Structure formats: C-alpha cells, structure tokens
C-alpha cells in the first residue's frame, strides 16, 4: 500500500493564523490516521519579506496545539542549488528557455491586449528563439506550457477540473536574478519529499495547473489535490483580524485551549454526522479528506467560546493549575479552595482569562465598589444586616468548611432575624466582591478564611460612610 505523505508549507512573511492552522490540521489528521508522514516545510524564498519571528511562531503554534511532524523542518531558502539544478535540466532538454523580454515590452504587450479585449498574457515570442540575445537584458526562464488541449486533474473537494491550455502562457520559473519562483519550488519540493496528497486552501487552485506542468516536464508523479474553501466571516466576506484571523498564539493569550481551537477548526469545512465535539482520537478515527465540504465555512465566535467552555469544564484541577501558573503567572490557591471554587468558576468561564479574573475576584479584597450596586444596597436595613452578619461570623467557634455548612449558618442567621436567606445575597455580594455577578455566595464564603470575610464586610460598611 502507498504511504500517505502530506505537508504543511507556510510562508513566514506573517504569523500563522487560524486558516493556516486548519490546513495543517487536515493534512496532519489524514497522514496520522493512515500511519503516513506529515511534513513541515517553510517556504522562505522571499528573502526580503521573511520574518524570523514568524518562523519561530509557526513552530510554537505546532507545539502548543500538540501537532507533531516527521523529520526536520525543511527550509526552501536552503535549497536554491537544488532548484537551479532542475532549471538547468529543463533548459538542457528544451522544455524551458530564456526570455529576454523587458518589463517595458511586457507592459506594452499587455496594454495592447487589453485594448483588444484579450486576456493579458505573454505571447511566447522567445519560445523558439534562435537569434542573438538583446544586450543589457538579464533574462528570466520560462517553461514551455502546452499549446493545445487541456490540463486535467481530479480535485478531492471540487471534482473534475479541466483548464484549457490557451488559458496559460509560458510562465516564469526563474526570475532575472536567478531565484526560482513559488510554483517551481513547490512542485520540486512536493515531488522530492514524496508528497502524495496536497490539502490546501482553494486560493491555490489557480496554481495547480502550473505545478502539474512542472511535474510532467520533469517526469514526477502528480499528487492528489484537495482544495478547501476559505473560512469566511459571518457576513460571507474574507476573514479579517477583527473577525478572528489572528495569530494562533494570540488565541493562547486570550485564554483558549488548543483542544477547543482544533475542535472548532476541524468542523469548519468537515463534518461527521451531527457530532460537534471531537477528541483528537475521534478526529483521527473519523477524518477523511473526501468528506471535506465544497462550500465555504463561516467563522462563529460564539461556537468557539462554547467549545472552549466545554473543554475548560473537562480540565482536571492539576491541568488547570499548570495552565494558570505557566500561562498567566497565577499563584495557585490551596487545594481546599480549589475543590470549592474551581467547579463554580468553570461554569462561568468561557476562556482561561475569564477563569483567572473570576478567581482573582474571589481571592482578592475588592479594590473598589460598583457605584450602582452601592446605591442599591445602601439601605439602613442592609447595612444593619451586614453588621449583624459580621458579628455572627466573628462569634462562630469553628471555621466553615463547605458551601453546605455556609448555607446552614445563613439559614440559622436568617431565621433568627426573621428574614429569608436570599435577602442577604445582594449586600453580601457587594461586601465580598464589590460588584454584581460572580460565583455563588455560599461557595465564596466557604473558600475564604474567617478573618478575610470579616475584613471585607467591615470595608464595605466603611464604603457606605463615604
């Protein structure tokens, strides 16, 4: 059986964004599910625009989401002699030629073609040139494209593709300074790296016939292609940074889990029945590129948040503590506090940033008080109840260990004062957190030391005087 070999080949001119990560994920899943190879190649031939930071960010993103690759990372910038070898082979075999057409001549030709209503294209004037080359012109190298017929290939997403030869000209494979062009490098590398299946965005669809011409000119086997529709924003337009097309590592900083991001991306263009939540094991079991959708997918921020909250709830306390410590430099609370507060905070957190903020609200003395809430709870009755509850807490002989014990004590206090326990909730929330929202009062009180509770209530009572 043929070994499946896929690759991900980003250019390091910008940071890896989620569209690129989705492409990498599809290639990764197909290779791993079939016990094949998944390769990483950095297409850094554009020396002027390359970014070292972007290269490192690509590697970091792979490490963060847990996608490994086979062998060493391949850098195209280190393979120029190899590309030159194949350019010379094509020139020697008469399958490519030097073109001495100046930029000014090419611009003039295209302008005349436009005036005649024709598609601007090179006119092959140097294809069979035998004369004396013009002086002062550093030539480019063009490949001889077919003059008739069609270039055909079956795309795993879009079906049978047929491109008339007349739609292509003899395109450039080496610039005047000798550097090879994108399509030439891609075809050479995919062939030499043994890539059997190319899964990529459909913005590359127009490159495919050119790459097939190069494959066939050199006698290389043509791989299978799968061109996946781009991710669009909810309005059906190209995804912008505002919509979510950010660096993958920005998602980490915003408190997303890699499991959630991969689960979100795998469903953008692929499905398995009505299932929405996939473990990596399930992705590997079910993913097949033949099931990729031919229609574009829309980025849905709410769905990503929903998935992220699901995976946060699934985290063990140990895993959560490691993330809080490593990613957010948060001091991990006592185990007793974790057992009480973490389940409560998980239910209220869509991101790890949410979790950190709620945890800090619980464990730190309020630095300020919400003015609207202060106005709401500043009645004489509420102030009196807070003072009485503070005295009640002071008088307790033993610490309150659980939320249930807190509820029992609050019920006892409420019965004594002839009120319902819930009457205490709003003023206590103001005293303990300084604002509305947050975890339940009972677990919050159970997580705090007695002295801390007393201090917070006393501070709140002082705030009313102001």
DSSP assignment of 30-46 equals: HHHHTT-EEEEEE----
The Cβ of residue 361 has, within 10 Å, a number of other Cβ atoms equal to 18
Vertex 445 angle, CA 441 and 446, to 5°:
120
Distance in angstroms (rounded) separating the CA atoms of residues 29 and 190 = 18
Helical ranges in 116-200 per DSSP H: 182-192
Q: What's the order of all strands across the beta sheet hosting 74-75?
A: 5-8, 37-42, 74-75
Q: How far is CA 134 from CA 116, 138, 212, 433, in A?
A: 28, 9, 32, 81
Cβ-based neighbours of 413, under 8 Å, separated by 6 or more:
388, 389, 392, 421, 424
Beta bridge partners of 226: 199
Rounded to whole angstroms, how far apart are CA atoms 6 and 60? 20
pLDDT the model gives residue 277: 97
The answer to whether 49 touches 289, Cβ cutoff 8 Å, is: no
3-state secondary structure of 6: strand
Q: Alpha-carbon distance 37 to 35, whole Å?
A: 7
Q: Which residues contact 84 (CB under 8 A, 6 or more apart)?
A: 174, 178, 180
DSSP 412-434: HHHHHHTS-GGGGHHHHHHHHHS
- Cα dihedral 264, 270, 275, 279 sign: negative
Query: Which residue among 241, 360, 420, 422 is the active-site one?
Result: 241
- For residue 14, give the 3-state DSSP assignment: coil
Which three-class secondary structure state does DSSP give residue 118? coil
User: Residue 48: its pLDDT value, please?
Assistant: 72
Rounded to the nearest 5°, which phi and psi values hold at 448? -95, 145
Q: pTM to 2 decimals?
A: 0.91
pLDDT at 50: 75
Q: Tens place of pLDDT for every residue, the chain, 466 residues?
A: 899 999 999 988 778 899 999 999 999 999 999 999 999 999 988 777 777 888 888 999 999 999 999 999 999 999 999 999 999 999 999 999 999 998 888 999 999 999 999 888 899 999 999 989 998 899 999 999 999 999 999 999 999 999 999 899 999 999 999 999 999 999 999 999 999 999 999 999 999 999 999 999 999 999 999 999 999 988 888 887 777 668 899 999 999 999 999 999 999 999 999 999 999 999 999 999 999 999 999 999 999 999 999 999 999 999 999 999 999 999 999 999 999 999 999 999 999 999 999 999 999 999 999 999 999 999 999 999 999 999 999 999 888 889 999 999 999 999 999 999 999 999 999 999 999 989 999 999 999 999 999 999 999 999 998 6
Residue spans of alpha helices (H) in 34-120:
52-65, 80-92, 103-115
Q: Is 241 a catalytic residue?
A: yes
Query: What are the C-alpha distances in Å from 341 to residues 332, 347, 351, 403?
Result: 12, 10, 16, 10
Q: Which residue has the tokens 């070292």?
A: 52
Q: In this predicted structure, what is the pLDDT of residue 45?
A: 82
């Amino acid at each position: 059986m043929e070994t499946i070999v896929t690759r991900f080949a980003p250019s390091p001119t910008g940071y890896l964004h989620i569209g690129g990560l989705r492409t990498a994920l599809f290639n990764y899943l197909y290779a791993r599910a079939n016990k094949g190879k998944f390769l990483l190649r950095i297409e850094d031939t554009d020396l002027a625009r390359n970014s070292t930071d972007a290269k490192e960010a690509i590697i970091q993103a792979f490490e963060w989401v847990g996608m490994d690759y086979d062998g060493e990372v391949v850098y195209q910038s280190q393979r120029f002699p190899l590309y030159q070898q194949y350019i010379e082979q094509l020139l020697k075999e008469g399958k490519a030629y030097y073109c001495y057409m100046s930029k000014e001549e090419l611009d003039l030709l295209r302008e005349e073609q436009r005036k005649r209503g024709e598609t601007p294209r090179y006119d092959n004037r140097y294809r069979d040139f035998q004369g004396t080359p013009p002086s002062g012109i550093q030539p480019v190298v063009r490949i001889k494209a077919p003059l008739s017929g069609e270039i055909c290939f079956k795309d795993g997403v879009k079906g049978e593709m047929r491109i008339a030869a007349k739609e292509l000209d003899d395109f450039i494979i080496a610039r005047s300074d000798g550097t090879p062009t994108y399509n030439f490098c891609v075809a050479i590398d995919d062939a030499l790296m043994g890539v059997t299946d190319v899964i990529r965005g459909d913005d590359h669809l127009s490159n495919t016939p050119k790459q097939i011409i190069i494959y066939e000119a050199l006698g290389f086997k043509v791989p299978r292609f799968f061109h996946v529709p781009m991710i669009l924003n909810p309005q059906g337009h190209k995804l912008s940074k505002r919509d979510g097309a950010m660096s993958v590592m920005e998602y980490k900083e915003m408190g997303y889990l890699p499991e959630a991001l991969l689960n979100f991306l795998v469903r953008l263009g692929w499905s398995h029945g009505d299932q929405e939540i996939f473990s990596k094991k399930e992705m590997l079991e079910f993913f097949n590129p033949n099931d990729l959708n031919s229609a574009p997918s829309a980025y849905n921020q709410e769905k990503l948040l929903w998935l992220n909250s699901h995976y946060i709830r699934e985290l063990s306390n140990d895993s959560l503590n490691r993330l809080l410590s490593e990613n957010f430099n948060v001091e991990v609370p006592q185990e007793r506090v974790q057992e009480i507060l973490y389940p409560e905070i998980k239910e209220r957190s869509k991101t790890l940033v949410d979790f950190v903020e709620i945890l800090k609200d619980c464990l730190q003395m309020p630095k300020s008080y919400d003015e609207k809430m202060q106005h709401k709870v500043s009645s004489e009755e509420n102030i009196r109840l807070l003072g009485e509850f503070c005295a009640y807490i002071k008088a307790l002989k033993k610490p309150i260990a659980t939320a249930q014990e807190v509820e029992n004590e609050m019920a006892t206090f409420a019965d004594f004062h002839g009120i319902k326990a819930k009457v205490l909730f709003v003023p206590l929330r103001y005293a303990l957190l300084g604002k509305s929202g947050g975890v339940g009062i009972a677990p919050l009180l159970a997580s705090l030391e007695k002295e801390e509770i007393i201090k917070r209530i006393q501070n709140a009572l002082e705030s009313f005087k102001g």
